[in-house]
Amino acid sequence: MEETNIIQNSQDDEISLLDLFAVLLRYKFLIIGVTAVAMIIGVVVSVISLKQAPEKSIMPNVYTPKALMLINDSGSSAGGLSSMLASSGMGALAGMAGISTGSSNSGLATYFAGTNSFLDPIVKEFNLIERYKIEKAPLTNSRNALKKNLKVSYDSESGVFSISFTDIDPVFAASLVNFSVKLMEDMFLSLGIDKNALEKKNLEENIQNSYNEMMRLQRKIQGFENAVSYGAQSYVPSIMTETTLVKAELEAQQKVYQQLKTQLELLKIKMASDTPVFQVIENAEVPDQKSGPSRGKLCIILTFAGFFVSIFLAFALNALKNIKNDPAAMSVLRGEKL
C-alpha cells in the first residue's frame, strides 16, 4: 500500500511538471515578446544616455579619481593621541569618536572624513550648494550630497588610506579629491600628531618671516644712504647713527636666518630616516576612463527581469483562464451560493 502511494505521488509530480511545461509552451510568444521588449528597452536607454549631455543624461558616465596616502599607526602610543586631541581643544571630538588609549591615526582619519570640519571647507571651496542646486536646508543637504559621492577607505595590511570622489566631470572630481587630501593633511598637522611635520612648518614660516625682515632692513639702509647722497647734510650724524643700528639689527637677523636654515636642513635629514604619520603617496589624476555605469550589465539585468516577469504573467494568465473555465470558481467570485 505504501509503495502504491509513492508511485501515485511520483506520477502526480510528473504530471505537474508536464503541466507547467505545457503552460510555458502555450505562452511562449508572450515570454519571448516580453523578454525581447525588456532587452530592447535596455539597449535604447543605454544608447540615449550616451547621446545626451552628461548634465541631462538619465544615466551619465561618471568618473572616480582616487588619491592614496600612507598613515603610520606605529607611533600611536597609549593615550598619546587622546592627549594631543585634548591639548588642541578637541577633547570632545575624541570622546565622540570613541578614541581612547588604543586609538589609531588611521581610525582618526576615517572619522575626520565624516565631520563637518572636514566637509564644510570642501562645500565652500567648490560651491556645492549652487552646483547641486540645493535650496532646502542647504548646509545639511550639501554635506549629505558630498558624503554620498566622497568615499574613504583604509587597508590595514598595507597602511594605505584612500580618498575618492565620483562625479560626471573628471577634472572637477580630481580637484576635489586633491583638495580633500590637503585638508586632511592640514587637520593632522594642526593636531600636532606628526611632530616633525609641525616643526618643519613652523621653521619654514619663521624662515620666511626672517627673510622678509632682512629685506625690510636692507631697504631701510638703502633709504638712509640715498638721503645722505641727496644732500641731507644736516641730518648726516643722526642718519649715520640710525644706519649703524639698523645694520647691527640686520646682522643679527642674518644670523637668525642662518640658524633657522641650518635647523631646517637637519630636520629634513631626520625626517628622511623617520616614517611620517601622514604621507601622500599619489595625488588624484584626471581619469580618462569612466567608473560607471555598466550599460552592458543593465541590459543583462533588464533582459532577465523581463524573462522572469513574462513567466509570472504566463502562469497568472493560465490561472485566470482555469478560473473562467471552472463554473464553481466563477460562482464563488460572483457571490452565488453553491
Q: Alpha helices of 27-127 — where are they, by DSSP H?
A: 28-51, 80-87, 91-97, 105-112, 116-125
Would you call the peptide bond into 293 cis, given omega within 30 degrees of 0 as the criterion?
Answer: yes
Q: Percent of the chain having pLDDT more than 70?
A: 74
| 201-214 mean pLDDT | 86
pLDDT for res 335: 65
In angstroms, the CA 336 to CA 315 distance is 26
| 294-320 mean pLDDT | 87
| 225-250 mean pLDDT | 70
pLDDT for res 233: 54
Answer yes or no: is pLDDT of 88 > 80: no
What confidence tier does 11 reach under pLDDT thresholds 50, 70, 90?
A: very low
Comparing 161 with 81, which gets the higher pLDDT? Answer: 161
| 168-191 mean pLDDT | 88
* Domain spans in the chain, listed from the N-terminal domain onward: 27-56+293-338, 66-193, 197-274
What confidence tier does 329 reach under pLDDT thresholds 50, 70, 90?
A: low
Answer yes or no: is pLDDT of 100 > 70: no
pLDDT for res 78: 35
pLDDT for res 77: 40
Comparing 247 with 165, which gets the higher pLDDT? Answer: 165
| 148-166 mean pLDDT | 88
Answer yes or no: is pLDDT of 216 > 90: no
Mean pLDDT (the chain) is 77
pLDDT for res 247: 83
| 293-314 mean pLDDT | 87
pLDDT for res 151: 92
pLDDT for res 230: 61
Answer yes or no: is pLDDT of 315 > 80: yes
User: What is residue 125's three-state secondary structure?
Assistant: helix
Residue pLDDT, tens place only, 104-117: 777 888 888 888 98
pLDDT for res 86: 46
Residue pLDDT, tens place only, 33-74: 888 998 888 888 878 777 767 667 677 888 999 999 887 765
Comparing 91 with 238, which gets the higher pLDDT? Answer: 238
Answer yes or no: is pLDDT of 81 > 50: no
**C-alpha cell, 252:** 643679527
User: What is residue 160's three-state secondary structure?
Assistant: strand
Comparing 22 with 174, which gets the higher pLDDT? Answer: 174
pLDDT for res 214: 86
Answer yes or no: is pLDDT of 147 > 70: yes
What confidence tier does 270 reach under pLDDT thresholds 50, 70, 90?
A: low
pLDDT for res 334: 67
Residue 103 CA to chain centroid, in angstroms? 22
215-222 contact pairs (CB < 8 A, 24+)? 217/246, 217/249, 217/250, 217/253, 218/250, 220/246, 221/246, 221/247, 221/250
- Please list, in sequence order, all residues whose beta carbon lies within 8 angstroms of the beta carbon of residue 330, skipping any fewer than 6 positions away: 323, 324
pLDDT for res 239: 66
Comparing 160 with 176, which gets the higher pLDDT? Answer: 176
